[in-house]
Amino acid sequence: MLSNKGFDLWANEYDRSVQLSEESDSYPFAGYKDILNTIYNEAMRHSDSRILDLGFGTAVLTSQLYKQGHQIFGVDFSKEMLAIAQEKMPQAILYQADLTEGVPQNLAEQAYDTIISTYALHHLDDQAKVNLIKRLMSMLRKNGKLLIGDVAFETRAKHDACKLENAHHWDEEEYYFVYEELQPSLQAFCASEFYPISHCGGVIELQKFEAEADVTDKAI
């Protein structure tokens, strides 16, 4: 698994290597642009909104939302990624922090219209993903959504087929989303839907249950 230093070293080459994988429709970034576009379009349903991005990287997605006037907040543990993102989004509130330790307190006590995360949460194991998602639900405003785009599969069988096809460069240290396995834990506290987009990627959309959203909506 890449450490924050590993991501620091990757930062300047990141966009190019994603593009190569995306253009050849190959694991792990097949469908990258469509996944980011899907999340962009969903976030754009609000105007002048508050958006939190977890693992923003070079801000490929968030910088587009920033240009549209949204207020951007974010967390990433790579100093170099943060420097690139901050240059693209001078007014964004960006924290350097490790998501395995949760969302920094200053960000966690605020509320957001949309929380997004692309190709970052597969660094957390499934229990850590569920714990984080539960916490994130409490940070959403009424009608707010959490949108996760990542290497993701509807079933374990589809995950295993992709792994077999890509055995020579499969990353054994990453925990890809297998929706049929996560959904039973998620349904205890939120509504979720999986949208497959490529053979190895998709978007998971999560929302508070309606009754709960009415009760827990926070004012800023």
Ligand X SMILES: C[S@@+](CC[C@H](N)C(=O)[O-])C[C@H]1O[C@@H](n2cnc3c(N)ncnc32)[C@H](O)[C@@H]1O
Residue written as tokens 């240290």? 173
Is 56 one of the binding residues for ligand X (CB under 6 A)? Answer: yes
Is 120 one of the binding residues for ligand X (CB under 6 A)? Answer: yes
Is 27 one of the binding residues for ligand X (CB under 6 A)? Answer: no
Beta-carbon contacts of 192 under 8 Å, excluding residues fewer than 6 positions away, are: 183, 186, 204, 205, 206, 207
Interaction mask 86-105, ligand X, x per CB under 6 A: ------------xxx-----
What's the chain's length in residues?
220
Q: What is the DSSP letter of 29?
A: T
C-alpha closest to that of 80 among 59, 103, 108: 59
Question: Which residue number, 8 or 217, has a Cβ lying nearer to ligand X?
Answer: 8
Contact 34, 53 (CB under 8 A): no
Question: Which residue number, 98 or 109, has a Cβ lying nearer to ligand X?
Answer: 98
In 133-190, beta strands by DSSP E: 140-153, 177-178
| b/e 208-218 (16+ beta carbons within 10 angstroms → b) | beeeebeeeee
Is 118 one of the binding residues for ligand X (CB under 6 A)? Answer: yes
| Paired strand residues for 140 | 112
The region of 54-62, 63-71, 138-146, 151-159 touching ligand X under the rule CB under 6 A is 54-62
Question: Which residue number, 32 or 179, has a Cβ lying nearer to ligand X?
Answer: 32
Helix then strand then coil, % of the chain, to nearest 5: 45, 25, 35
Task: Sort strands 191-196 and 201-207 into parallel, antiparallel or unpaired.
Answer: antiparallel
Q: How far is the CB of 106 from ligand X (least distance, A)?
A: 15
Q: How far is the CB of 212 from ligand X (least distance, A)?
A: 27
Is 77 one of the binding residues for ligand X (CB under 6 A)? Answer: yes
Is 49 one of the binding residues for ligand X (CB under 6 A)? Answer: no
Question: Which residue number, 76 or 113, has a Cβ lying nearer to ligand X?
Answer: 76
Binds ligand X (CB under 6 A): choice among 76, 111, 136, 144: 76
The region of 19-27, 41-49, 76-84, 192-200 touching ligand X under the rule CB under 6 A is 76-84
Binding site for ligand X (CB under 6 A): 7, 55-57, 60, 75-78, 81, 98-100, 118-120, 123
